Amino acid sequence: MIGVSRRTVLGGLAALSAPRIARARDPFRIFQITYRGETDVERGFRDYLEQRGIDVEITHRSAELDPSRVPDILKEVREAKPDLVYTWGTPVTLATFGKDDDPDPARYITDIPGVFTMVSTPVKAGVVPSRASSGRNITGTSHVVPAAPQLRAMDAYRPFKRLGVLYTPTEQNSNAIVADLRSIEGEMGFTLLERTFALGADGKPDASTAPALVAELAAEGAEWLYYLPDTFLSQNIEQVAPAATALGLPGFSAVELLQRSALISLVCRYYSLGQLTAYKAEQILVTGTAPAEIPIETLERFALIINMPLAREMELYPPLGMLSYANVLT
């Protein structure tokens, strides 16, 4: 039996039940930079601060799926001089704060406290040297469930020996996650089958061959197709998931965004992650804790989601026992 809670709860957020904060001062000013506009993460973040009685004024800017827009946004940040900078996703976080070994103050925000969220592999991506401490003026949260529980969830639903994965070779997070899968395939007794999106002459990934790549994985005997937290994959899931379904290849998602495209998902809820991120913002703004003293964390409990319409379509039904603790999409 895999270790999944029967309900999604926040890990380490005992502060939710603490007394509301009362202050007589101007609102804290937070500058949010997101990758693709507002998500449930931002809603959870905002609701937590409101529930805690923390008065904030939030300025929001979206990179509109293009991190090259961030340097212009940083000009606004420097002019605004907010109390806190919030970033969503690895590309935006790196474009805002830089890597931990090269935080050039001329290019990145280093003098304003920062909190990041939705960073899949913060250490391997170079955002922080360790989850215990960033060693600098930022802290944050990660949304990815560790690989082993994900694989156990897949195996509990439908045992497998061959796992297919399609990912973008230019995304640091994706490479790090695939490397983790390679490191445990012998220990967990499966074979990893890999394909990467082709890169065009401009170095950008191309989704047009995705159905053919999925077909190759199915032909090699893949029994699951793993939808890892890959930005390009998420943006082009309609090129991938229908092809997999047509071939009888079930998808497993590691991110809530793709729960309607996968047969099952094991995820951190975006809304809950936003609350955890806001708790860290509270520590910085209200209690004056230095970001370097606040560890980078993931939620302690995860949500197992079963896509029942897809289960019926594929005639791949979950074990009855799993229905007692899973969230079921209808």
Q: How many Cβ atoms from other residues are within 10 Å of residue 18's Cβ? A: 10
**What is the number of other CB atoms lying within 10 angstroms of the CB of residue 292?**
16
β-sheet bridge partners, residue 307: 329
Q: Tokens standing for 5?
A: 């809670």
| Per-residue pLDDT, 16 | 42
Q: The domain that contains 224 carries what CATH number?
A: 3.40.50.2300
44: in domain: yes
Shared domain check, 110 and 133: yes
For residues 245 and 197, state if they share a domain.
Answer: yes
State the amino acid at position 195 in one-letter form.
R
Q: Say if 307 falls within a structural domain.
A: yes
Q: Are strands 28-34 and 84-88 parallel, antiparallel or unpaired?
A: parallel
Domain span at residue 204 reads: 147-267+303-329
Contact yes or no for 165/224 (Cβ under 8 A): no
**Structural domains in the chain (count):** 2
Could you tell me if residue 9 is inside a domain? no
The whole-angstrom distance between residue 137's C-alpha and the CA centroid of its chain comes to 21
The whole-number pLDDT of residue 264 equals 98
Provide the whole-model pTM.
0.85
The per-residue pLDDT for 173 is 86
Q: What is the pLDDT of residue 1?
A: 35
pLDDT at 24 (0 to 100): 52
pLDDT in tens, the chain (330 residues): 333 333 333 444 444 434 444 445 689 999 999 999 999 999 999 999 999 999 999 999 999 999 999 999 999 999 999 999 999 999 999 999 999 998 899 999 999 999 999 999 999 999 999 999 999 999 999 998 989 999 999 999 999 999 999 999 999 889 999 999 999 999 999 999 999 999 999 999 999 999 999 999 999 999 999 999 998 999 999 999 999 999 999 999 999 999 999 999 999 999 999 999 999 999 999 999 999 999 999 998 899 999 999 999 999 999 999 999 999 999
Same domain (yes/no): 138, 45: yes
Query: Looking at residue 172, what is its pLDDT?
Result: 86
Counting every residue, how long is the chain? 330
Instruction: Based on the fold, state whether residues 18 and 136 are members of the same structural domain.
Output: yes
Q: Are strands 224-227 and 251-253 parallel, antiparallel or unpaired?
A: parallel
- Asked whether residue 254 falls in the same domain as residue 287, the answer is no
